[in-house]
Amino acid sequence: MEVYWLEQTEANLPTADDWLSPSEAARLDTMRFAKRRSDWRLGRWTAKNALALYFLYSKVPADPQVLASIEIRVAPSGAPQAFFQNKPAAATISLSHRAGIAACAVACLSGALGCDLETIEPRSDAFVADYFTTAEQSFIAGASAVERPRLLALLWSAKESALKALHEGLRLDLRSVIVSSRDPSFDVDGWSPIVVRHTDRHIFCGWWQHANGIVRTLVAAPPPNPPIRLRIPDYVASAGSVRA
């Protein structure tokens, strides 16, 4: 399965909101806290541009009117759903944002998909005991002091990606989602493979990457190829007309 990946930062956000649909603009107006508003706008901006690139790669670059016709709604499960001109879009998406960065993964509608961004930072022993299986705790205990924060970020992020693919989020015990294999010696364009298993026998294959203090993870079923990076062309402020 092909999966496409776009990242945007707060610096990419326009000041105007004319790229939001009317219902999205109304929802934004209900948000009181600046950080919540900023994170929400950044996630929507990233997802809309990713979908514009995914669907409109052979057409003219997207503009605010095009982006406003793309709407990100929330399913009863809490997962994001893409709509184009008020009709369900033929794509599955997953969103994540962290530390002023947002990522959107896009794939065909028939696949299960989850992505996550996680900062590399110190974590306590209590955190490890609360969220990781005995086998994972032993794996973590064997890591060097230098490697431990990155390993913890990877395991946590992969679990989050799998829970998103299951449309469960943090409603499930994270110890029911097990990151069972990884091979950092093999990578494609900086992405290394991972496998995540849920206790009811769901198996997700995926990829992880580390750069600039951020771990990125993506899992899907059927097994995805390494993520294909989407890029907004330099000559447009909104989504462009090509896939990278």
CA dihedral 244, 51, 38, 169 (to 10 degrees): -110
Supply the pTM of this predicted model. Answer: 0.90
Domain coordinates in residue numbering, the chain: 4-111, 116-220
Q: What is the pLDDT of residues 22-80, one digit of tens each?
A: 999 999 999 999 999 999 999 999 999 999 999 876 555 568 998 999 999 998 888 99
Q: Do 4-111 and 116-220 share a fold?
A: yes
Number of neighbouring beta carbons within 10 Å of residue 129: 10
CATH class of 116-220: alpha beta
Helix (H) or strand (E) holding 185: none
Superfamily of domain 4-111: 4'-phosphopantetheinyl transferase domain (3.90.470.20)
Q: Tell me which DSSP letter residue 112 carries.
A: E
Q: Tell me what pLDDT residue 59 has.
A: 57
d(CA 185, CA 178): 21
Q: Tell me what pLDDT residue 55 has.
A: 87
B/e letters for 9-43, b = 16+ CB within 10 Å, e = fewer, are eeebbeeebebbbeebeeeeeeeeeeeeeebbbbb
